[in-house]
A and B are shown apart, each in its own frame.
Chain A
Amino acid sequence: MQELLQYLFSGMTNGAVYAVIALGFSMLYNSTDLINFAHGEFVMLGALCMVSLTAGAGIALVPAFFVTVAVVAAAGMLFERLAIRPVRNPQPVVLIIITVGASIFLRGTGMLIWGKDAHSIPPFLDIAPIDIAGARLLAQSVWILVIVTALTAGLHLFYKKTLTGKAMTACAVNKKGAWIVGIPFKWMVLLAFGLSTGLGAVAGASIAPITMSSYDMGTILGLKGFCGAMLGGLGSLWGAILGGFLLGILEAMGVGFVSSGFKDATAFLLLLLVLYVRPQGILGTAEVKRF
Chain B
Amino acid sequence: MRFVKKHRPILLAAALVSAVVFAAHPAANADSGKNPIKIGGIFSVTGPASFLGDPEKKSMELAIEEINAAGGVEGRMLEAVIYDTEGDPSKTVMAAGKLINKDRVTAIVGPSRTPTTLAAVPMVERAQLPFVSCAAGNKIVEPIKPWVFKTAQSDIQAVATIYSHIEKQGIDKVGIITVANSFGESGKEQLLQQAGDFGITVVRSESYGANDTDMTSQLTKIRKEKPGAIVCWGTNPGPAVVAKNIEQLGIEIPLYQSHGVASPKFIDLAGDSAEGILLPTGKILVADLLPDDDPQKPVLADYIDAYEKKYDETVSGFGGYAYDAVYLLARAMEGTGGDKEKIRENLENIKNHVGVSGVFSFSQTDHNGLDPSAFVMVRITGGKWQLVE
Interface residues of A (CB under 8 A from B): 3, 6-7, 9-11, 13-14, 17, 111, 116-120, 122, 129, 131, 135-136, 138, 207, 210-212, 214, 216-217, 220-221, 251-252, 255-256, 260-261, 263-264
Contact = CB atoms under 8 A, between A and B. Distances in A.
Given A116-B46, A138-B248, A256 B220 contact: yes
A136 B250 contact: yes
Contact of B218 (A13, A129, A136, A260): A260
Contact of A13 (B207, B211, B214): B214
Contact of A212 (B47, B220, B240): B240
Given A17-B213, A216-B211, A120 B271 contact: yes
Contacts of A255: 206, 217-218, 221
Nearest to A256: B217
B12 interface: no
Given A10-B214, A13-B214, A260-B218, A211 B241 contact: yes
Given A6-B220, A138-B248, A117 B214 contact: no
Interface string B199-219: 000000011110111101110
Contact of A11 (B207, B209, B217, B237): B217
The residue among B212, B214, B224 with the most chain A CB atoms within 10 A of its own CB is B214
B207 A118 contact: no
Contacts of B265: 117-118
B interface, size bucket: 20 to 34
A260 B206 contact: yes
B23 to A, nearest CB: 33
B303 interface: no
B180 interface: yes
B220 A129 contact: no
Contacts of B249: 6, 129, 136
Contacts of A7: 217, 220
A135 B249 CA distance: 7
Contact of A14 (B208, B214, B237): B214
B214 A260 contact: no
A212 B241 contact: yes
Binding site of A, secondary structure by majority: helix, strand, loop or mixed? helix
Interface in B13-57: 46-48, 50-51
B10 interface: no
A212 to B, nearest CB: 3
Given A3-B220, A220-B211, A263-B209, A212 B250 contact: no
Nearest to B216: A10
Interface string B142-172: 0000000000000000000000000000000
Contacts of B224: 3
Interface in B227-285: 236-237, 240-241, 244, 248-250, 265, 268-271
B320 to A, nearest CB: 19
3 closest A-B pairs (Cβ-Cβ)? A212-B237, A118-B237, A211-B213
Contacts of A129: 248-250
A261 B269 contact: no
Nearest to B268: A120
B360 to A, nearest CB: 30
Contacts of A117: 51, 236, 265
Nearest to B269: A120
A131 B250 CA distance: 10
A9 B249 CA distance: 11
Contact of A210 (B50, B209, B214, B221): B214
B217 A122 contact: no
The residue among A17, A120, A260 with the most chain B CB atoms within 10 A of its own CB is A260
Contacts of A120: 237, 240, 268-271
Given A111-B46, A136-B216, A256-B221, 13 more contacts: A13-B214, A14-B213, A116-B48, A116-B50, A138-B248, A211-B214, A212-B236, A212-B240, A216-B48, A217-B211, A255-B218, A260-B206, A260-B207
A7 B244 CA distance: 17
A13 B221 CA distance: 17
A288 B248 CA distance: 48
The residue among B47, B212, B265 with the most chain A CB atoms within 10 A of its own CB is B212
Nearest to A215: B48
A214 B237 contact: yes
Nearest to B271: A120
A129 to B, nearest CB: 5
A7 B222 CA distance: 12
B217 A10 contact: yes
B217 A6 contact: yes
Nearest to A253: B217
Nearest to B53: A116
Contacts of B218: 255, 260
Nearest to A219: B211
Contacts of A211: 213-214, 237, 241
A261 B217 contact: no
B51 A9 contact: no
